[in-house]
Amino acid sequence: MKDLVEYIAKALVAAPEQVEVIDAGREGDTEVLELRVAPDDRGKVIGKKGRTAHAIRTLLASAGPEGHAYSLEIVD
């Protein structure tokens, strides 16, 4: 799933070399992924009213294995 998030983020940003996805561990039954991008690209990954970020999270929920939950955090 890290590869999926990284692929999507690199397609959206102007500085794909600064995209980094980190597996931040688990919170209960949910695996947490942290997405780091260049400060200028943060808005592109979040999108207007968070629509792009919501779409990425929806893809994580549908592409993941049955019974496995993922959480995406976009960090500074």
Instruction: Kindly report the CATH class assigned to 2-75.
Output: alpha beta
**pLDDT for the residue 17:** 97
Indicate if the pLDDT at residue 66 is higher than 90. Answer: no
Closest by CA to 73, choosing from 16, 14, 3, 5, is: 5
Q: Quick check: helix, strand or coil at residue 74?
A: strand
Tokens 């695996």 sit on residue: 31
Residue-wise burial string across 15-53, b where 16 or more C-beta atoms lie within 10 A, e elsewhere: eeeebebeeeeeeeeebbbbbbbeeebeeebbeeeeebb
Q: pLDDT of 1-52, one tens digit each?
A: 999 999 999 999 999 999 999 999 998 889 999 999 999 999 999 999 999 9
The Cα 66–Cα 75 span in angstroms is: 27
